[in-house]
Chain A
């Protein structure tokens, strides 16, 4: 098919061929639009459900109170919201620079066997069930302690390990798309290699790199399993990263699996807040990185 049409470009196209090409054009675009429709329907349903269910849970108590017993309707999710922010913060401090720098290596210097091995390891690491990562961090970062205890540090470490390969691979894929001409231009102007990477390549690929980072944060922010045996959880507000710490996914899971109706409501509210947090983050990222040259989002 593709050979045929490419050849035809150089020849004078016959009317029937033109018709066929136009038909293909219409068909494929119809297909793409249909695909979008099919994709959007279940996704909209999910969003609708979270919003409707979650909204009724949101009030002052939800944000100002920590967990209360199941029959006390003034309980809230303050402990879990703060805990999740702290754990994701720690995870990002670790996973974000590691991932971006590793991705730079792969795209700029990674055309060797070491690069291939790293790439492979990153893809494998991406597919390991999150509970295994939790068990791993438990074994290497909690049990060997002199006084073994759960902490937000360990939870952040587990989530950081999960972010790392995702960010690395998306960063690499995006950087590889920056045209060689751009790099050459910078080098020809007498720029050093590292400087040209940081300045030209990264700023061109910024949007994509940030999408990758957001996807990674998004992915880890909903994880329960790696936190079970690292951050454990906490029924109260805790701001000390060296202590067991609550998180939204763990609290959602606990509340959703217990019989209390009010706790179920809190679970839906927690889900909505989690999604809203990602939304705010996403808007902030777009706002701060808006390209002055006017590239559309």
Chain B
């Protein structure tokens, strides 16, 4: 008698996968990698902080939180789900802190359940990357970039580009323009810049995390855009860290002082310094087109968002400790991963804000 052979069979199928699932339930509520958790003396008692938000700082946060766990024993779980989603989760209180590449507007701040603090952590730059095998050291200025993205300049050897690049031999190739198809802080920074340098862009398109692009192909994420940029005649905007790690060629851009500046961690920190007066008044102030000869014009901060008054005092203490650590030890790690560290003045402002968390 083949009794219930199917039952047995299905059980067998399920066994492998189900074992882990059901087995997991029998585990006591122990978190973290059991191998490495037995770290040094820690203020935590099994506290795990959860954060979610921007993808741009994910590599550096991953490094910070790993080092922090080694040093202090508190596990921090940061997940990159996008800035907007991070803000939503903070609002729904499913996470302990959020992270965003774009600061909250006054109106959005009012809609949060209680007061939210912005802590700028590192700065980043948006670079204009291109794929022209024989062209090195391209120079561009704001109005030209805007005209390319408006579709008014169609070919690489356009007189407007040639005028900025005397001595460069530009090919008669049409642009393959790449933009982000997903909403992103990178697009937010870039379109804000275009809006600042081109009145036509301001009236026709505007700025935001996603906009209605007049021309171009959309790629999802920096990697998607990079894929399109690698097409013949490709041109698009990506984060500096991404361009550096992927060996893309990128343009120098004319800044507020009339100098062509190459994007780099240093020129981004210079931009943060150049905008310090405004940032002192409100950390949400933009730092694009900042003053200073060495300042790269398309730059911005990324922020950690936290409630000033948290529900769980233990978690509040843990988050304060984490953020203080990040300002003191974390900032030093930024250049290794091509992020721009904060100027010291801004670190001091942050320390004060962190102290106010309860």
Q: How many residues of chain A get a CB closer than 8 Å to chain B's CBs?
A: 68
From B8, B24, B241, B245, A89 is in contact (CB under 8 Å) with: B24
The answer to whether B59 touches A236, judged by C-beta atoms less than 8 angstroms apart, is no
Which residue of B is nearest A245, CB measured?
Answer: B24
Residues from chain B with Cβ under 8 Å of A244 in the complex: 50, 77, 79
Residues from chain B with Cβ under 8 Å of A287 in the complex: 12
The answer to whether B5 touches A254, judged by C-beta atoms less than 8 angstroms apart, is no
Q: Contact mask A256-280 → B, CB, 8 Å, 1/0?
A: 1111110000000000000000001
Task: Scan residues 87-135 of chain B and give those whose CB is less than 8 A from a CB of chain A.
Answer: 92-94
Which residue of B is nearest A259, CB measured?
Answer: B245
From B13, B32, B222, B242, A214 is in contact (CB under 8 Å) with: B13
The answer to whether A100 touches B10, judged by C-beta atoms less than 8 angstroms apart, is yes
**Contact of A93 with B63 at beta-carbon distance under 8 Å, contacts A199-B3, A236-B75, A281-B13 already known:** no
- Stretch of B14-22, B167-175, B270-278 contacting A (4+ beta carbons < 8 Å): B14-22
Which residue of A is nearest B336, CB measured?
Answer: A71
Residue A68 is within 8 A (CB to CB) of chain B in the complex:
yes
From A233, A259, A281, B59 is in contact (CB under 8 Å) with: A259
Bound-state Cα–Cα, A106 to B100, Å: 48
**Contact of A71 with B10 at beta-carbon distance under 8 Å, contacts A86-B24, A92-B21, A241-B24 already known:** no
The answer to whether A241 touches B25, judged by C-beta atoms less than 8 angstroms apart, is yes
The answer to whether B62 touches A70, judged by C-beta atoms less than 8 angstroms apart, is yes
From A66, A96, A238, A254, B14 is in contact (CB under 8 Å) with: A96
Which residue of A is nearest B52, CB measured?
Answer: A232
Q: Contact residue range for chain B? A: 35 or more
- Stretch of A50-58, A148-156, A179-187 contacting B (4+ beta carbons < 8 Å): A148-156
Residue B143 is within 8 A (CB to CB) of chain A in the complex:
no
Residues from chain A with Cβ under 8 Å of B6 in the complex: 198, 202-203, 206, 209, 289
From B12, B24, B245, B337, A239 is in contact (CB under 8 Å) with: B24
Residue B81 is within 8 A (CB to CB) of chain A in the complex:
yes
Residue among B27, B62, B85, B241 having the largest count of chain A Cβ atoms under 10 Å: B62
Bound-state Cα–Cα, A92 to B17, Å: 8
Residue A285 is within 8 A (CB to CB) of chain B in the complex:
yes
Task: Scan residues 213-234 of chain B and give those whose CB is less than 8 A from a CB of chain A.
Answer: 221-223
Bound-state Cα–Cα, A34 to B338, Å: 52
Bound-state Cα–Cα, A80 to B93, Å: 25
**Contact of A257 with B221 at beta-carbon distance under 8 Å, contacts A85-B20, A96-B10, A292-B2 already known:** yes
The answer to whether B221 touches A90, judged by C-beta atoms less than 8 angstroms apart, is no
The answer to whether B19 touches A143, judged by C-beta atoms less than 8 angstroms apart, is no
Residue A98 is within 8 A (CB to CB) of chain B in the complex:
no
Residue B48 is within 8 A (CB to CB) of chain A in the complex:
yes
Task: Scan residues 65-89 of chain A and give those whose CB is less than 8 A from a CB of chain B.
Answer: 66-72, 78-79, 82, 85-89
Q: Contact mask B336-347 → A, CB, 8 Å, 1/0?
A: 110000000000
Bound-state Cα–Cα, A3 to B23, Å: 60
Residue B246 is within 8 A (CB to CB) of chain A in the complex:
yes
Q: Contact mask A204-227 → B, CB, 8 Å, 1/0?
A: 001001100110010000000000
The answer to whether A232 touches B50, judged by C-beta atoms less than 8 angstroms apart, is yes
Residue B34 is within 8 A (CB to CB) of chain A in the complex:
yes
Bound-state Cα–Cα, A228 to B94, Å: 13
Residue B282 is within 8 A (CB to CB) of chain A in the complex:
no
The answer to whether A254 touches B58, judged by C-beta atoms less than 8 angstroms apart, is yes
Bound-state Cα–Cα, A285 to B58, Å: 39
20 A-B pairs with CB atoms under 8 Å apart are: A67-B62, A70-B63, A89-B19, A89-B21, A89-B22, A93-B22, A150-B50, A150-B94, A198-B7, A199-B2, A203-B6, A232-B79, A235-B79, A236-B31, A236-B69, A240-B31, A243-B31, A254-B79, A284-B12, A285-B13
Could you list which residues of chain B lie within 8 angstroms of chain A, going by C-beta atoms? 2-10, 12-25, 27-34, 48, 50, 52, 55, 58-59, 62-63, 65-67, 69, 75, 77-81, 85, 92-94, 221-223, 241-242, 244-246, 336-337
Given contacts A238-B31, A281-B13, 10 further A-B pairs with CB under 8 A are A71-B63, A85-B17, A89-B24, A91-B21, A92-B21, A142-B94, A236-B32, A254-B80, A284-B15, A289-B12
